[in-house]
Amino acid sequence: QSALTQPPSASGSLGQSVTISCTGTSSDVGAYNYVSWYQQRPGEAPKLIIYEVSKRPSGVPDRFSGSKSGNTASLTVSGLQAEDEADYFCSSYAGRNSYVFGTGAKVTVL
């Protein structure tokens, strides 16, 4: 149950796009389409923004999109806005009723 690997940080200017990777193994990310992404602003609880690799819950802007290739999932935030500045965590089902989270990536809006 090793943590999924994310870059510590990513940045982009207002209106531009930023992509965050989430690398796991063939036992978690590569094995299941149960990758989800969470946004966490300082002092707040995580908020679900992407589930099952690329689906958005109701109310999440379509600026957020997800994808997966092999053992790596990605989150793209398009048209960056100031309020997108936050920490982003990926998560995956890892089999045998276990779950794993990513190391987290801090997104800065320049």
Partner 1 sequence: QVQLVESGGGVVQPGRSLRLSCAASGFTFSSHAMHWVRQAPGKGLEWVAIISYDGSNKYYADSLKGRFTISRDNSKNMVYLRMNSLRAEDTAVYYCARYNYDYHAFDNWGQGTLVTVSS
Structure tokens at 35: 């990758």
Q: Name residues contacting partner 1, limited to 49-108 (CB under 8 A).
A: 51-52, 55, 57, 89, 91, 93, 96-104
Taking the chain, what is the end-to-end CA distance rounded to the nearest angstrom? 35
**In this structure, what token pair is assigned to residue 110?**
């320049």
| Total binding residues toward partner 1, as defined by CB under 8 A | 27
**Of 52 and 83, CB closest to partner 1:** 52
Q: Does 3 bind partner 1 (CB under 8 A)?
A: yes
Mark the segment that binds partner 1 (CB under 8 A) among 10-18, 20-28, 32-40, 74-82: 32-40
Tally the residues of the chain.
110
Task: Pinpoint the alpha helices (H) of the chain.
Answer: none
The answer to whether 36 contacts partner 1 (rule: CB under 8 A) is yes
